[in-house]
Structure 1
Amino acid sequence: MCSFTVVYGQQASFEGVVRDAKQQVVPGVSVRLIELKRGKPSDAEGKFTFQGLKPGMYTLQASFVGYKTLQEKVNLVADKTLHLDLELVEASNDLKEIVVVGYVSQNEKPITIGKLLIKPMDLPQSVVTLDKSLLEAQQVNRMSDVLMNTNGVYIFGATGGYQEEIAARGFSMASSNTFKNGMRYANGMISELSGVEKVEILKGSAAILYGNVAAGGVLNLVTKKPKFNFGGEISLRTGSWGMYKPSVDVYGGLSQNIAVRLNASAEQANSFRVGVSSERVYVNPSILFKLSKKTELILEGDYLADQRTPDFGAGIINYQIVDIPRERFLGVAWSNIKSAQSSLNATLTHQINERWTVKWMSGLRQNSSNLFSNTRPNAGSLITSDGQWIRNLQKSEVEERYGISQLDFIGSLKVAGMKHQVLLGVDSDFYDTDTYAYNQFNRYDTVNVYSNALSSARNDQPAMTPLTKTMAPIRRFGIYAQDLIHLNEQWKVLAGIRYSYQQTLSDVYNYTTKKTTSSSNFDGAFSPRLGIVYKPSLNHAFFASYSNSFTLNTGVDINNQALPPSLIDQYEVGVKNDIWDGLVSVNVTAYRILNNNLAQNSLVNATTYSYVKEMAGSVQSEGIELDLMSKPVAGFSFSGGYSFNETKYVKSNTYIEGSLLKYNPRHTANVGIQFRHQGLQVGLTTVYIGERFAGRSTRVLVANDAYRLIALPAYLQADLTAGYTYKKMSLRARMANLGDVINYNVHDDNSVNPITPRNYSLTLTYGW
């Protein structure tokens, strides 16, 4: 059913919203003009817009899986805008889901992590969305697989082999920068992707939305949501070194207003590192309640338990990586780390009226880790030139509880003839972290890293005595407002501001002295944002933006006062293009990130205490990014990109000015090619990681400083995937690291983890 009214505008165009029979908006509907062979999907609010059209009669077609295709004639009149209300009717037959790959360009995918659903063409910021079809085709299993499709966002470390450390634009993405369904998750353990449907990356500053996040960007994992039609799949993946991973995904409606979904998987595997193994269990249940025509509630649970062998990789001698076989494991045989993370979050969405929506999200998370292993090579005990290494032992336990509550008002209104997309929000969250440290067990044994025969190795597991318990509660509060102002069809302005307040406490109990040392810090900061977009046409946009973020500091100044936050300025300019009738998206972005008040050791009165600091340093990150993505042509689709980044000390009394910060490659690039024909799929994905540095930066304050950087060579990795689907069965194969490239992720000079050599996986799936 289609109804419409005519309102005056500046040119022949039309806009509308798609709803179902219950008057719920329907996102992702394919809306096309048959005569022009042009189309676009409805956004997350069910809305779509076509502009810059010649007056005349057109055939409008709206189609979506599970609904009857709607086709209507519409007459566009010069200097008028046609407003359409489309209602889709459910199909009577039981249609199965059809995935249309590559139809939506990168510039047509609004991201939920941005809170305000702005079309990427209207957003003065770089965004990347990796959807379900791409993740499935590439058979991703770890975050490193996902990030083969991005540039400027990369894995920079894998400390202990039990985490994947992510960076963007020269800055580490710690747990404050990683989200799952809009709620922070702890990324100190390897992410599980079997329940993920989409990965969103918002590059650059997101402080206005989330407070004290690092300047490089934020990442959001969107899990699979409940559906009212019954379906699902079971699969079994096997691979190199005994990897075995069954998984299940089941969804369906319990009633007209309640739908559920359950994703679950289990995995166990050995490693190319002899003596290293892992096992994990993952469960992701969710339930959707349609409380009314305008209100829905979704509850989502997430549980991951992971147990594996800590592996700090090869050693370093005199700031050179030890040349030993990459399969050789140097750790204590019984080393173990157990990690678990569980969360529950609720999202309530209510459409107040056609223009205003209120969204409330609240969640709780609990995570823990228990590490008992050898210490890192060179962390307290250096490997001698002949390979002798005295192994010490370490033990630690961490328990963290996190909670958040967030309320957003999202509106669309017209003032003085200008359209406004408004976001008003408030959030509050807390961290309660308990960290247990143990006295290090020194001189456990001595081994030679060049020898296969570790005859002198001990195998007993000694008792270790507790040293300290650190309790570090954090309380945060933020209030923010943002407005995307459509001055006209060509000019847009995005403006907003946030105020954040954080209270950080610390109580350190010493088991030896039986005393507690306490400290506290209270910080507040404003985070403004201003961006301008100029669109000379529907398919081209130029933008410029300024934003400000902050990072908290520890320590005190020379007057024994707590340090204020470091404020970070970010400038970004770029152009977004959909060329050849939207067939290819070509986006170019340039940026500068500047921290002009970096905290560093104070030199006043020759102070040498590391906790006494001054806000006088400066770090600068500059770069340019190119992103390409095509829609399918004759079954072929293409994606790729290139990034140049230089992050360096501009001013420092601690390190050499002009020297590069560790871990950040100047050059990264990616190319992906996919071919699909009927049930066949073949793909090649490549990523290039340029030269970067680990080790330890030279200190200008230390005479004859022995610290040195370690240059890690560039490498190119290629993965090949293939799959075939016949009726309800599909078989997929993946060969990763085709060239069997040898390279390393290195943390400082003490965790040198080789990247995984050539390996394969096979996945058999049955769907219904």
Structure 2
Amino acid sequence: MRRLLLLALLLATYCLPPLASAQALTGLITGRLVGPDGAGLPAISISLKQDGTGVSTAADGSFQLRAGAGTQQLLISSLGYITKEVYAVVKAGETTTLPVITLEINARQLRSVTVTGTKTLNEKPVRIGKLPVRPIDLPQSVVSIDQAVLEQQQTLRISDVLANVSGVYVMGNTGGTQEEIAGRGFAFGSNNTFKNGVRFNNGVMPEVSSLEQFEVLKGSNAILFGNVAAGGVLNLVTKKPRFEPGGQLSFRTGSYDFYKPMVDVYGAINNSEQVAFRVNTTYENARSFRDGVKSARIYVNPSLLFKIGTKTDLLAEGDYLNDNRTPDYGIGAINYRIPDVPRSRFLNTSWANNATTQRSATLTLTRRLTDSWQLRCMAAYQNYTNELMSAARPSTVRDNVKVGTLAGSPALYGNLVRNLQRAGSDEQYLLAQLDLTGKFKTGFLDHAVLLGADADQYRTEAVSYIAIARYDSINIFDLDRYKPRNSVPEFTRNARTEGHIRRAGFYAQDLVSISEKLKVLAGLRWTYIETRSDVLSYRDGTVTPAASRFDKAFTPRVGLVYQPIKTTALFASYANSFTLNTALDLQGNTLAPSFIDQYEVGIKNDLFKGLLSANVTAYQIVNSNLAQVISPNDPRFNANRPNAQELAGEVTSRGVEVDVQSKPYRGFSLISGYSYNRTYYSKSNTFIVGSLLRYNPNHTANTSLFYSREHGALRGLTGGFTALYIGERQAGRSVVESNPLNRLIPINDYVQFDASMGYTLDRLTLRVKVSNLLNQLSYNAHDDNSINPIAPRLFSSTLSYRL
């Protein structure tokens, strides 16, 4: 810490004299641009007409531009708005503040031009970051994917979107009902997945067609959200209301009887200038390359925007998803080996079903207090229900050799006795959040601050049923060997567990600009968490209450950003996060939280006048007090508490990530990335020291290249390809002292190529896509009982009509 402060002072000493000298000859012009509705306009170009130098407005529409003394003429322009010229009288060493400037919409231009992204990867502020500053000013790796890319790639699932993000990947697909995501070696659970800034239960596949932006904040984000995993957070930003009328009607169809109509309409209500709406809705129905697997889902996403005066906005958003699909635990494993069966082989019952309904409502009130200060209040509600009836995971497929207590024979090789399971859950989630952001000066220091507080609450009800053993038998190599049962049995309720989680947090961050070249980010969060669960036994009606548990934690963050030139930033940061432990120690007490230290260094570049952004990040994450089971060989082992744990382990994650994005140039655009990660047990009394954690590839890489014909006879023609590399990883079960028969299952690496073409004629667009062009085979695997093959070569097409 002393070294960072000393470096900061040395750099400030180096930078300030030239700055003072420049200020003697120049002055500062500040102001803010807004649209006709009074909202700030980001990424608008402002330049000095005399010499062409300029800047772009920040997320709230504000700008600062240094200019020579005298009368200066400012040229303000952006696609979709009428160009404007403004004069400013600049005095040496002083700041000239212009009145708020309103830009008028160029309706003619909007009708005739397709608007493409004008901001670089390092200029686009992300909503999930809360602080309205450019990513280049943050000591953290940030990636955002815009709607134009999602439409070009015809993304259908989150895994399709992740083909544009280095180091974030699908780690599993248990049951085929969700995509389990991880980054930097750590799983992204529901705590790490957000929709419009609100925690989102990712036990169901989210709807991608409703997104206008996909945001990733890599690394530790505990200061913003409390107990989130160390790898990063995802934020799904849905499409927002617009006052100009428009929309799109689309129909997508593809392999295995896939069809999906989509409707997206927006506009002002009764030509109002104060109220706008938007409605996204889709219906999806499909079979699968997996025999017997089918799905159907309905999604509706309505939203309303109220302009309450010139400085206050109220955004109301709803979200409804009903998803029914066949649970699919894959092809199983035999003695930790993946069997050689067809990719389509399905082992579940014919009546198995996983039904999920998710409802949410969010209110966001934004009040612009001044040109520099803004207050944002949010209230949200979410309800998630799930009902599962299925065969259990195929965990005991017979081998033809002796394995543990199972004596196999060639005649029984591949036999599987199917057991049945049923479970139900209901989750209620409430959130209240308040954020105050602003900019001010103290002497020569510029501050961009965030002050906030949040409180949320989970109430969950999980119903378990008594499992049904030995429902029937199948052979995974020969499904005709036995006649499967098709009757739906009656399940008996076993227990109901009611869980309660209450959280509250207070946080503050300050991005201090010591000079134009040197910035320091510092912040601290205090989090309070209360957890409790009660268990009702249906057998005798007794309730077993659990004592409430209280946890508190401080999570700091500090970072340094040095920008030798405006388009390059070097950064270093330290952040701390924590995870709760639910296990008990030898005395029967719950374990304290595990704290995780994260260090990150990197460089961000906007090259070739902003045409290309290239960022490199290196990191180390250390969980030095990992909860682990006390070994039976330990003299402290207590047979009465065989599952007792202690904070004795350590996990270390080290890696490098590269993210590259370009603006469109002569019709071409590029997204590319690479990541290396090694997450391993660096200390352990249970696992082999140095052994890798499961499901995480050491290497991933991605490249997407697109071309759009903008002129000539073939104007409207588009094409592109995406290449995704997922390196070797492992599933199975890690070898431990308590079970030396455990084995790991190696999963092969693969490269998946997707290709697409499209053509737009006036308002009509046709796009076609081939995914997994080379028909590569690999698996998403969990433990040794959910081995799910990836999809083979698939064809799809989308016909859209712009309203």
Q: Does the pair score TM above 0.5?
A: yes
Equivalent-residue separation in structure 2 for 1:97 and 1:572 (angstroms): 45
Corresponding position of 1:748: 783
Corresponding position of 2:274: 257
Corresponding position of 1:522: 550
Q: How does 1:217-366 map to 2 (within 5 A)?
A: 217-254=232-269, 255-366=272-383
Deviation at 1:387, TM superposition (A): 0.5
Corresponding position of 2:84: 70
Per the alignment, do residues 495 and 134 of structure 1 end up closer, same or farther by CA in structure 2, a change over 3 Å counting?
same
Selected match of 2:455 from 428, 432, 437: 428
Instruction: Provide the secondary structure at the position in 2 that maps to 1:508.
Output: strand
Corresponding position of 1:630: 662
* 1:561 and 2:589 matched: yes
Deviations 1:378-410 (A, max 9, x none): 0xx343341000001000001100010001111
* 1:489 and 2:516 matched: yes
**Residue type matched to 1:605 in 2?**
R
Corresponding position of 2:11: none
Deviation at 1:422, TM superposition (A): 0.9
Q: How does 1:2-401 map to 2 (within 5 A)?
A: 14-31=29-46, 41-49=56-64, 60-65=75-80, 67-72=81-86, 83-84=97-98, 85-91=100-106, 93=108, 95-96=110-111, 98-254=113-269, 255-378=272-395, 381-385=396-400, 386-401=413-428
The structure that is strand-richer by fraction is 1
Aligned CA-pair RMSD: 2.2
Deviations 1:99-128 (A, max 9, x none): 443532111111010011121111000000
Deviation at 1:353, TM superposition (A): 1.7
Q: Is the 8 A contact 2:32 2:62 kept in 1?
A: yes
Q: Is the 8 A contact 1:151 1:625 kept in 2?
A: yes
Equivalent-residue separation in structure 1 for 2:74 and 2:734 (angstroms): 64
Deviation at 1:168, TM superposition (A): 0.7
**Residue type matched to 2:726 in 1?**
I
Instruction: Provide the secondary structure at the position in 2 that maps to 1:241.
Output: coil
Per the alignment, do residues 701 and 86 of structure 1 end up closer, same or farther by CA in structure 2, a change over 3 Å counting?
same
**Residue type matched to 1:315 in 2?**
G
Corresponding position of 2:477: 450
Once the two structures are overlaid, the 10-residue window that deviates more, 512-521 or 294-303, is 512-521
* 1:728 and 2:763 matched: yes
Equivalent-residue separation in structure 2 for 1:247 and 1:642 (angstroms): 34
Deviation at 1:46, TM superposition (A): 1.1
Per the alignment, do residues 701 and 391 of structure 1 end up closer, same or farther by CA in structure 2, a change over 3 Å counting?
closer
Deviation at 1:14, TM superposition (A): 4.7
Deviations 1:296-340 (A, max 9, x none): 100000000000111111110010111100011111111111001
Equivalent-residue separation in structure 2 for 1:82 and 1:304 (angstroms): 51
Per the alignment, do residues 487 and 605 of structure 1 end up closer, same or farther by CA in structure 2, a change over 3 Å counting?
same
Deviations 1:136-187 (A, max 9, x none): 1111010110001111000111111110000010000000000000001110
Corresponding position of 2:797: 762
* 1:668 and 2:700 matched: yes
Per the alignment, do residues 695 and 22 of structure 1 end up closer, same or farther by CA in structure 2, a change over 3 Å counting?
closer
Deviations 1:352-372 (A, max 9, x none): 122221110010000111000
Equivalent-residue separation in structure 1 for 2:278 and 2:772 (angstroms): 34
Equivalent-residue separation in structure 1 for 2:353 and 2:415 (angstroms): 23
TM-score (norm 2): 0.91
* 1:598 and 2:613 matched: no
Per the alignment, do residues 447 and 71 of structure 1 end up closer, same or farther by CA in structure 2, a change over 3 Å counting?
same
Corresponding position of 2:724: 687
Instruction: Provide the secondary structure at the position in 1 that maps to 2:603.
Output: strand
Per the alignment, do residues 764 and 10 of structure 1 end up closer, same or farther by CA in structure 2, a change over 3 Å counting?
farther
* 1:543 and 2:571 matched: yes
**Residue type matched to 2:102 in 1?**
E
Instruction: Provide the secondary structure at the position in 2 that maps to 1:149.
Output: coil
Equivalent-residue separation in structure 1 for 2:454 and 2:292 (angstroms): 46
Q: Is the 8 A contact 1:502 1:522 kept in 2?
A: yes
Deviation at 1:738, TM superposition (A): 0.6
Deviation at 1:50, TM superposition (A): 5.0
Q: Is the 8 A contact 1:52 1:538 kept in 2?
A: no
Per the alignment, do residues 92 and 545 of structure 1 end up closer, same or farther by CA in structure 2, a change over 3 Å counting?
closer
Q: Is the 8 A contact 2:384 2:426 kept in 1?
A: yes
Equivalent-residue separation in structure 1 for 2:66 and 2:601 (angstroms): 25
Per the alignment, do residues 619 and 628 of structure 1 end up closer, same or farther by CA in structure 2, a change over 3 Å counting?
same
Selected match of 2:562 from 519, 528, 534: 534
**Residue type matched to 2:545 in 1?**
S
Equivalent-residue separation in structure 1 for 2:227 and 2:794 (angstroms): 39
Deviation at 1:521, TM superposition (A): 1.6
Deviation at 1:63, TM superposition (A): 2.2
Once the two structures are overlaid, the 10-residue window that deviates more, 630-639 or 467-476, is 630-639
Equivalent-residue separation in structure 2 for 1:632 and 1:54 (angstroms): 36
Per the alignment, do residues 114 and 683 of structure 1 end up closer, same or farther by CA in structure 2, a change over 3 Å counting?
same
Deviation at 1:721, TM superposition (A): 1.3
Per the alignment, do residues 458 and 90 of structure 1 end up closer, same or farther by CA in structure 2, a change over 3 Å counting?
same
Per the alignment, do residues 235 and 701 of structure 1 end up closer, same or farther by CA in structure 2, a change over 3 Å counting?
same
Per the alignment, do residues 230 and 100 of structure 1 end up closer, same or farther by CA in structure 2, a change over 3 Å counting?
closer
**Residue type matched to 1:696 in 2?**
R
**Residue type matched to 1:331 in 2?**
N
Deviation at 1:562, TM superposition (A): 2.0
Task: Give aligned pairs, total.
Answer: 757
Instruction: Provide the secondary structure at the position in 1 that maps to 2:163.
Output: helix
Instruction: Provide the secondary structure at the position in 2 that maps to 1:606.
Output: coil
Corresponding position of 1:477: 504
User: Where do 5+ consecutive residues of structure 1 fail to align?
Assistant: 1-6
Q: Is the 8 A contact 2:58 2:133 kept in 1?
A: no
Corresponding position of 1:461: 488
Once the two structures are overlaid, the 10-residue window that deviates more, 339-348 or 37-46, is 37-46
Per the alignment, do residues 325 and 351 of structure 1 end up closer, same or farther by CA in structure 2, a change over 3 Å counting?
same
Equivalent-residue separation in structure 2 for 1:472 and 1:394 (angstroms): 21
Deviations 1:165-223 (A, max 9, x none): 00010000000000000001110111111111100000001100000000000000000
Corresponding position of 1:3: none
Deviation at 1:75, TM superposition (A): 8.1
Once the two structures are overlaid, the 10-residue window that deviates more, 26-35 or 278-287, is 26-35
Equivalent-residue separation in structure 2 for 1:57 and 1:548 (angstroms): 47
User: Where do 5+ consecutive residues of structure 2 fail to align?
Assistant: 1-21, 401-412, 711-715
**Residue type matched to 2:579 in 1?**
T
Equivalent-residue separation in structure 2 for 1:54 and 1:571 (angstroms): 44
Q: Is the 8 A contact 2:29 2:67 kept in 1?
A: no
* 1:652 and 2:688 matched: no
Selected match of 2:744 from 674, 699, 709: 709
Once the two structures are overlaid, the 10-residue window that deviates more, 68-77 or 667-676, is 68-77
Equivalent-residue separation in structure 2 for 1:53 and 1:438 (angstroms): 76
Equivalent-residue separation in structure 1 for 2:336 and 2:67 (angstroms): 61
Deviation at 1:348, TM superposition (A): 0.3
TM-score (norm 1): 0.95
Equivalent-residue separation in structure 1 for 2:398 and 2:337 (angstroms): 11
Equivalent-residue separation in structure 2 for 1:94 and 1:540 (angstroms): 33
Per the alignment, do residues 94 and 674 of structure 1 end up closer, same or farther by CA in structure 2, a change over 3 Å counting?
closer
Corresponding position of 2:737: 700
Deviation at 1:454, TM superposition (A): 5.8
